[in-house]
Structure 1
Amino acid sequence: MADNADRAGEIIENRLEGMLGAIALPPRTFAEPICVDCDGEIPAARRQAAPWCVTCAPCQSIRERGSRR
């Protein structure tokens, strides 16, 4: 026999699953092959791993270092 705590847990779990299912994920398309900062090529492996990327890895590192200041 389920008690109130079991029922509450099921309700919370169902709501959480619904909320997570509603989150929009970035599109799984490949990014443009050219970095917006240096006009260099973004490697295919990076574009596949992070399809939303717009910079090459070195330029992204520079951006991240700048945002920490």
Structure 2
Amino acid sequence: MADIADFANDLVQERIDQAVAARLALMSSTALHSLMFCDECDEPIPEARRLAQPGCTLCIGCKTSDDLRASRYAR
């Protein structure tokens, strides 16, 4: 027999599933073109990164440096 905690868990999971589905639908409708070469260092961007992050313009190394630089100024 389901209790109130099970009902609450089911409701939360349903909302999460809806949010993920909406996000995926938005991403697929606005998919950007990934660059083949990094904007910063002109090194090739690996295919796995281009597929995982549609619209990426930086390689992993440059993106990491960019994120670190941005985190220093976000304070």
TM class by smaller structure: 0.5 to 0.7
Task: Give the unaligned 5+ runs of structure 1.
Answer: none
1:31 is displaced (CA, Å) by 0.8
Aligned residues of 2:50 and 2:56 also touching (Cα < 8 A) = yes
- Using structure 1 for the length normalisation, give the TM-score: 0.54
1:30 is displaced (CA, Å) by 5.3
- The percentage of aligned residue pairs carrying the same residue is 29
Which structure: greater helix fraction?
2
- Using structure 2 for the length normalisation, give the TM-score: 0.52
1:60 is displaced (CA, Å) by 1.7
Aligned residues of 1:26 and 1:52 also touching (Cα < 8 A) = no
One-letter code aligned to 2:71: R
Q: Who wins on radius of gyration, i.e. which is larger?
A: 1
What is the aligned residue count? Answer: 68
RMSD: 3.0
1:58 matched to 2:57: no
One-letter code aligned to 2:50: R
1:63 is displaced (CA, Å) by 0.9
